[in-house]
Structure 1
């Protein structure tokens, strides 16, 4: 590995549906990444992607043995992450993985410790908090636009009857509404307001057996087993004393209705869906009296990455490696998010508030520059 280079050689592990946006962005957009190879559980899938993007198709063993590959980007289902990450770290490669890092904070923390011992970087999705919308919200909060923050409210919905038929990994361990979906909201929240101190939650699965409503599925209209959580309703207290709610209902419709509000003494921020990079961030100024009706304002501080920029996490991590600083979508943040989710489940089982045992630093704001495209 040569950290003096300005370009990081990368291999992609996993060639499923999400790999296209990663490959497109990492090959054609982020000029500090050089994607040279991909692999998949089935070699024919890797060959299809390799031909499409002009890269090599190989096995994971070949990627691990290739000294020219500095970083692996793992896009496989969550149950496979722990082994794949460990293997890459053990042979001296930096790793960025799709969410979640592993299936529990305990195993994720062990990988973080291994990365530190090996002097390697370990990052994890989601990287949507690095996008224009949440960076705009961060700047507004840091600039004191809404004054002292007093609370937050996050609410979303999904239709797991449809989505579990569309994406079978949702039925695997780690595919529930907390581990696969609330990870976006929690990462966004922590990136804006800081780490979580304690939680209370109700976590449940309304239908362990569901009817597949995805029309293009071969099992459409038939029962499918869904062993994961489908709903979470929680109260979170942050280390800085701010408290608020996070509620996600996976037993609704596929039209996600994201509600993300941050309340302050001078105004309110209405945020977009944290599953996306862009969208409008609306500032609602405080009323002076009951007759005052201030006009809502769409904030724009000129941040980049408002479109689907998956791959931004690996690109930012490559910059961090070259600059010898901590990457923003780092292992510490990912471990803490997983720990919060683990403690939500624990709280639901105990019927009580529980203390979150980990912490993390609030990620630094993104710089407002645009990286040039390669083509």
Structure 2
């Protein structure tokens, strides 16, 4: 590890579509990362990707054996995460992985124990809560702009018939509407209001057999098997007594449409899609009477990362390693969010509220224009 210049030598594992934005940002926009290599299932694919970014294409075994590589960033489908993370930790590498960390909170906790035993950092996406929009919302809440928070309401829609054709990994374990998508909303929620205490949910799959409606797919128009959950309707009680709802419908006709409101005694915050880093955060002041119609205000506190900043999570974790502090995208946060999702499914099976056994600290807010 280059501690003199505060640069972490990094390798990327997985060269799919999401890897381009990670590589672009980590190579060109985050100076504390030095991306040296990438790997993929097929070596030729890795070498093609590597040539495009001026790095080395190699095997995962070569990455694990390379003592100059300090951290791996895993961008493979969720079912592969557990074994890849374990191998990297056992090889002495820090690890940042795409969401979710693993397929269950228990397996993620096992990896966290391994990381701690070796003095290594383990973190997980999503890192969108570090973006300008959600950091703006965090400051507004912490500054008391909307007063005491009383509730929240999150509602989102997706078209899984189309998206399953775009991204076949959605049909794999961990690709359902809860594990692959609500993880954004739940991570944003915990970053704003703290951990979840209990949950009640209805989780179901409306169509185990779907028709692929993505025109550019080789299986366009054909039936595809979708064994994962496509809908979740839930009530969440936070540890600080705030209660709200999270509802996601993957059987809609809109590809991505999100509604995210946080209600307070002095006003309301209207947030953007937590799958994005930027977007307008709107403050709706409280009405004094029926005739009072205060104008909505778009909040701007000068935070960075309005654009697609994937790679911010690894960069923030590198900064945490150098400054010997807890990373904001730490394993405890990822495990708690994964545990909430696990218990949404359990609640649906039991038909009752269930307690969430894990907890975490609310991540520290970012300093405005703090570029890693």
| TM over 0.5, shorter chain | yes
| Aligned counterpart, 1:90 | 90
How many correspondences in the alignment? 372
Distance in 1, matches of 2:23 and 2:219, equals: 30
Map Cα deviations across residues 40-75 of structure 1 (whole Å, 9 max, x no partner).
001111011111000000000000000000000000
**3-state SS of 1:248 partner:** strand
1:312 matches 2:312 = yes
| Aligned counterpart, 2:71 | 71
* CA drift at 1:2: 5.5
* CA drift at 1:227: 0.1
* CA drift at 1:4: 5.3
* CA drift at 1:254: 3.3
**3-state SS of 2:38 partner:** strand
> Contact 1:115–1:122 (CA<8 Å) still a contact in 2?
yes
| Aligned counterpart, 1:187 | 187
**3-state SS of 1:188 partner:** helix
Distance in 1, matches of 2:114 and 2:87, equals: 11
| Aligned counterpart, 2:176 | 176
Distance in 1, matches of 2:314 and 2:188, equals: 18
* CA drift at 1:321: 0.2
| Aligned counterpart, 2:279 | 279
> Contact 1:151–1:263 (CA<8 Å) still a contact in 2?
yes
> Contact 1:129–1:188 (CA<8 Å) still a contact in 2?
yes
Distance in 1, matches of 2:341 and 2:319, equals: 29
> Contact 2:122–2:330 (CA<8 Å) still a contact in 1?
yes
* CA drift at 1:326: 0.4
| Aligned counterpart, 2:344 | 344
* CA drift at 1:370: 4.7
TM-score, length of structure 2 as denominator length: 0.99
* CA drift at 1:369: 2.2
1:12 matches 2:12 = yes
> Contact 1:133–1:272 (CA<8 Å) still a contact in 2?
yes
**3-state SS of 1:257 partner:** strand
Distance in 1, matches of 2:255 and 2:213, equals: 14
> Contact 1:199–1:236 (CA<8 Å) still a contact in 2?
yes
Distance in 1, matches of 2:85 and 2:339, equals: 19
> Contact 1:162–1:254 (CA<8 Å) still a contact in 2?
no
Distance in 1, matches of 2:254 and 2:351, equals: 30
> Contact 2:162–2:255 (CA<8 Å) still a contact in 1?
no
Distance in 2, matches of 1:296 and 1:369, equals: 25
> Contact 1:202–1:232 (CA<8 Å) still a contact in 2?
yes
| Gap regions ≥5 residues in structure 1 | none
| Aligned counterpart, 1:332 | 332
| Aligned counterpart, 1:140 | 140
| Aligned counterpart, 1:299 | 299
TM-score, length of structure 1 as denominator length: 0.98
* CA drift at 1:368: 1.1
* CA drift at 1:139: 0.2
Distance in 2, matches of 1:137 and 1:214, equals: 35
Mark the CA change 1:347 to 1:3 in structure 2 (over 3 Å): closer, same or farther: farther
> Contact 1:131–1:278 (CA<8 Å) still a contact in 2?
yes
* CA drift at 1:255: 3.5
**3-state SS of 2:147 partner:** coil
Distance in 1, matches of 2:153 and 2:290, equals: 24
